[in-house]
């Protein structure tokens, strides 16, 4: 598994009608497929998120959309950044990701996290609870999901989930890459060190070097080579002539870059890769200007040499 250059498609408001929506998603994924990206992600949400749009704006269900993208791409890995564990029974999630792996001919990635968007839970009837509750649920869910996707038949009688000899067939691969998002130093990072292939670090640029140090220690504490746990950061990239970092709102300055494609690439190198993070997942804000053909291609071509260096 390698995730060094990913594209996240996090917005489905493009200005046209609903009939044009998924073809626009496909166009972005195909640009990524052809220009050096190794992975395409969608968000696992049912409502659009604050800071991107309003809750009633279009949001596709993640695994249905990924199944469609599997038939429209050839090379990129496909996954969520990241699945909210609270939204699906663990056995259903295991079936969804193994099915995606079969459809895509071995390109599925299982991204997972605790879930956090309270409005979705409240309005759609999912139990939210405290962060401790959700983290406990995630730990229990992993006892079911991980064996299932590796071909085992777990029986678990836990506080939150009960399964008996649960199966996930068909399966294509012995191991589907596992990704978790977060940067909690007491829970998430140690969990990543124990079970995951990849950690998408959710933190500001100024926190990355410290998070890398914490991750290194967490791996060493369990005698794992830190180099075997890949890392990335999700970064917003505002691209255009005359666009400068000063135009980024203060609340987003630690997680977004802006400028020409070459300027954006240089900022990502300086702020993310030089801090010790191994890769980058970018999203291009499209909610105000729509999808701009060629931007994904240009960004991929500028970033690929940096992440491969």
Phi/psi of residue 5, nearest 5 degrees? -140, 105
Residue 160 reports pLDDT greater than 90 = yes
pLDDT band at 51 (very low <50, low <70, confident <90, very high): confident
Is the CB of residue 79 less than 8 Å from the CB of residue 66? yes
d(Cα 30, Cα 64) in Å, to the nearest integer?
17
90: closest CA among 144, 11, 132? 144
**For tokens 């400068």, what's the residue?**
244
The verdict on pTM exceeding 0.75 is yes
Q: What is the pLDDT of residues 139-152, one digit of tens each?
A: 999 999 999 999 99
d(Cα 47, Cα 44) in Å, to the nearest integer?
9
CATH architecture of the domain formed by 5-308: Alpha-Beta Barrel (3.20)
Q: What is the pLDDT of residues 75-92, one digit of tens each?
A: 999 999 999 999 999 999
């Amino acid at each position: 598994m390698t995730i060094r250059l990913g594209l996240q498609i996090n917005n489905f408001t493009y200005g046209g009608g609903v009939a044009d929506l998924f073809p626009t998603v496909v166009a972005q994924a195909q640009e990524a497929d052809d220009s050096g990206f190794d992975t395409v992600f969608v968000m696992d949400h049912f409502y659009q998120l604050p800071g991107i749009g309003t809750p009633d704006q279009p949001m596709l269900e993640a695994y249905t959309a990924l199944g469609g993208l599997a038939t429209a791409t050839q090379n990129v890995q496909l996954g969520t950044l990241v699945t909210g564990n609270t939204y699906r029974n663990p056995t259903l999630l295991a079936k969804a990701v193994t099915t995606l792996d079969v459809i895509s001919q071995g390109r599925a990635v299982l991204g997972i996290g605790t879930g956090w968007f309270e409005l979705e839970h409240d309005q759609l009837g999912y139990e939210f609870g405290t962060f401790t509750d959700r983290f406990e649920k995630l730990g229990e869910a992993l006892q079911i999901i991980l064996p299932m996707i590796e071909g085992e038949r777990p029986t678990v009688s836990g506080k939150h989930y009960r399964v008996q000899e649960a199966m996930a067939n068909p399966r294509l691969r012995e191991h589907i890459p596992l990704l978790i998002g977060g940067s909690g130093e007491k829970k998430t990072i140690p969990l990543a060190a124990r079970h995951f292939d990849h950690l998408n670090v959710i933190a500001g640029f100024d926190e990355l070097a410290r998070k890398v140090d914490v991750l290194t220690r967490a791996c060493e504490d369990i005698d794992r080579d830190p180099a075997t746990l890949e890392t990335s950061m999700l970064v917003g990239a505002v691209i255009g002539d005359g666009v400068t970092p000063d135009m980024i709102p203060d609340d987003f300055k630690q997680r977004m870059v802006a400028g020409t494609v070459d300027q954006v690439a240089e900022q990502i190198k300086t702020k993310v890769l030089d801090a010790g993070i191994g890769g980058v997942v970018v999203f291009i804000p499209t909610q105000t200007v729509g999808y701009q053909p060629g931007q994904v291609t240009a960004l991929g071509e500028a970033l690929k040499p940096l992440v491969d260096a």
